[in-house]
Amino acid sequence: MTARSPFARHGLLVRWLRGAWLGWVALVLLLLVMTQVVKPRVGEFMDYWYSVPADSAFVEQAAALRQTREQQAIQSAWITGAAPVALLFLMQLLVAVFARGEELDEEDGEEEAIVVIQPEPVVKKPNPADRTVIRQSVQPTVSPPVAPVASSVPADDSLQLSLEGDGALYIGQGGRYRIDRLLASGGMGSVHKAYDKTLQRDVAIKELDVSLAQDQEQSDRFRQEALALAGLAHPHIVPVYDLVEDNQRFWIVMELLSGGDLEDRIEKNPPTVKVATNIIRAVAEGLAFAHNKGIVHRDIKPMNILFNVDGIPKLVDFGIAKLVQSQQSVVHTREGLSLGSPTYMSPEQVKGKKDIDKRADIYALGVTFYKMLVGEAPFTGDAEEVMRQHMFETPVSPRVSNHAVSLELEAIVIKMLAKNPADRHQSLEEFISALDAIKNT
């Protein structure tokens, strides 16, 4: 038997603690860098970026936003620095585990090298009676066939995925919907052109990304969109036909809008003032209908305004909509959490306020209207810069870039973009009346 090393007597934990010296050094360096370098630098940057005049009305708002962004930046720095340190500790732990396993294998080999010699047992020759008993004991026993047991759970193929002979993918009860081709995809999922075999018509099917479908909040948000749209029967809101769920996968079946989105139209062929006004009025009618049903959209933007084959605009994507009457939202909001698209977010959304109401949609609709008239949004830059401008900067008059915009229309757009919700139109009916008043003059 070989002599065992004194170091081999130490357990796995001791071996790891003594061997992970590089990780301890990295941890000490991380603490020094974060406390002596990163935190002071971030504070200086935030002081510069969110500085406002002392007599400004936004001093408190800027201070609150600065504190929130500073905390987020420091947290990100901690995560970025802690990841490689944790990796060093994990690698050393794996080394310790493998080393300990080799020692155990060595110990097992030493034990197997000890040969124990035992006396050979005396085998008694069986007599004929014994052999008969043995033969009888090994006779196979044939059991009667057992009838198959029927499942107590009836098969349910109402929601199933199936592949028929044509190779297409079918979903829904009895394979009702045939998915034909991909129309668009994004971070949340994808939209497909499909065919409804029962009603014999083309439809659009929106699928939640498989990775997100495993997340309870994301799947609830997807259901919320279907339920919100199902209760909104309006010519300027996309209708929902069905919600399909199967094996942690989710699809919304809705009208196929093949006329493209407003974002694409603005980029390729900017609308005239008259066309832009007609489009925004139609969307405002649909959005007003949703508001009267107690639903705030919270993500109004040109990409969420689609057109059907006849050119009628329709509002889509109620994924982060809020039910005002019940104060419920699938996305669990908290103070300081911003929801929406930065370019179209209202100042109160930038602040992460929980009491978001329909006036936030009016602001986002104003940004969309501005972009149709001018060709670009009133505030541009990266996300942080745009959100800062939403809170503190005044938009340039749309008449500067488009002289066809009248003074009256300019006043309406600027009012929609007011920083204080109380200074905007208080309802979309009020906004529509203001537009109609211009036409009648």
Q: Do the domain assignments include residue 330? A: yes
Say what percent of the chain tops pLDDT 90: 41
Based on the structure, what is the number of domains in the chain? 3
Does residue 63 register a pLDDT over 50? yes
Instruction: Using CB atoms within 10 Å of the CB of residue 360, give its burial: 0 to 12 exposed, 13 to 18 middle, 19+ buried.
Output: buried
113 part of a folded domain: no
Same structural domain, 271 and 418? yes
> Is residue 156 very low, low, confident or very high in pLDDT (cuts 50, 70, 90)?
very low
> How does DSSP classify residue 186?
-
pLDDT greater at residue 163 or residue 251: 251
266 lies in the same domain as 365: yes
User: Does residue 269 fall inside a structural domain?
Assistant: yes
Task: Decide if 128 is inside a domain.
Answer: no
Most confident of 50-54, 118-122, 237-241: 237-241
pLDDT at 310: 93
Kindly state the tokens that stand for 428.
């979309």
Both tokens of residue 87? Answer: 């990796």
Indicate whether 171 and 243 sit together in one domain. Answer: yes
pLDDT of residue 158: 39
Note whether 197 and 248 are same-domain residues: yes
In a domain, 245, yes or no: yes
Lowest mean pLDDT among 29-33, 213-217, 272-276: 213-217
Q: 3-class SS at 332?
A: coil
Active-site entry in 261, 299, 317, 361: 299
Same domain, 294 and 313: yes
| 71, 74, 80, 82: CA torsion to nearest 10 | -100
Residues 268 and 335 in one domain: yes
Q: How far apart are CA 319 and CA 187, in angstroms?
A: 13
In 252-298, alpha helices (H): 262-268, 273-292
Question: Residue 245's domain is classified under what CATH number?
Answer: 3.30.200.20
Task: Inform me whether the pLDDT recorded for 34 exceeds 60.
Answer: yes
Interaxial angle between packed helices 383-392 and 59-112, expressed in degrees from 0 to 180 and rounded to the nearest 10: 150
Give me the phi and psi of 50, to 5 degrees please. Answer: -110, 25
One domain, residues 301 and 335: yes
Q: Give the C-alpha distances (Å, rounded to integers) separating 147 from 141, 144, 150, 369, 423.
A: 18, 9, 9, 72, 78
Look at residue 340 and tell me if it is in a domain: yes
Measure the CA–CA gap between 187 and 190, rounded to whole angstroms: 8
Q: What is the pLDDT of residue 187?
A: 67
* Mean pLDDT of the 33-41 span: 84
Which band of pLDDT confidence, cut at 50, 70 and 90, is reported for residue 148? very low
Same domain, 70 and 205: no
Same domain, 170 and 81: no
Q: CA–CA separation, 228 vs 258, rounded Å?
A: 22
8 Å CB contact between 177 and 197: yes
Output the domain CATH number for residue 427. 1.10.510.10
Query: Would you say residue 138 lies in a domain?
Result: no
Distances (CA, A) of 228 to 222, 291, 358, 382: 10, 11, 15, 31
Together in a domain, 282 and 414 = yes
Q: Between vectors from CA 375 to CA 261 and to CA 430, what angle results, nearest 5°?
A: 75
* Neighbour tally for 149: CB within 10 Å: 6
Beta strands 322-323 and 201-208 are unpaired
Residue 107 lies in a domain: no
Which residue among 254, 276, 294 closes a domain?
254
- Whether 299 sits among the annotated catalytic residues: the reply is yes
> CA 133, CA 126: separation in Å to the nearest integer?
10
Q: Output the CA torsion sign for 389, 421, 344, 262.
A: negative
Model confidence pLDDT, tens digit, residues 313-366: 999 987 665 654 444 443 433 343 445 689 999 999 998 887 889 999 999 999
203 DSSP β-pair partners: 194
Stretch 97-118: mean pLDDT: 57
First vs last C-alpha separation in the chain:
107
Region of poorest pLDDT, from 111-115, 266-270, 302-306: 111-115
Mean pLDDT along residues 33-44: 83
pLDDT tens digit sequence for 158-217: 344 444 556 788 999 889 999 999 988 876 788 999 999 999 999 999 998 888 888 888
Query: Whose CA is closest to 316, among 325, 304, 308, 324?
Result: 304
Distances (CA, A) of 263 to 255, 266, 315, 321, 341: 19, 5, 13, 21, 14
Indicate the residue among 235, 254, 273 that finishes a domain.
Answer: 254
- Residue 341 corresponds to which amino acid? S
Which of the two residues, 277 and 353, has the higher pLDDT score?
A: 277
> Last residue of a domain, which of 204, 219, 254?
254
Question: pTM for the complete prediction?
Answer: 0.61
The pLDDT assigned to 186 comes to 74
Query: Residue 425 and residue 19: Cα distance in Å, rounded?
Result: 67
Q: Domain check: are 272 and 382 in the same one? A: yes
Residues 314 and 360 in one domain: yes
CA gap 306, 265 in Å, rounded = 10
d(CA 23, CA 102): 23
**How far, in Å, CA of 173 to CA of 205, rounded?**
15
Domain housing 70: 8-102
The residue among 323 and 54 whose pLDDT is bigger is 54
Using pLDDT thresholds of 50, 70 and 90, give the confidence band for residue 70: confident
Residue 80 burial by CB count (10 A; 0-12/13-18/19+): exposed, middle or buried?
exposed
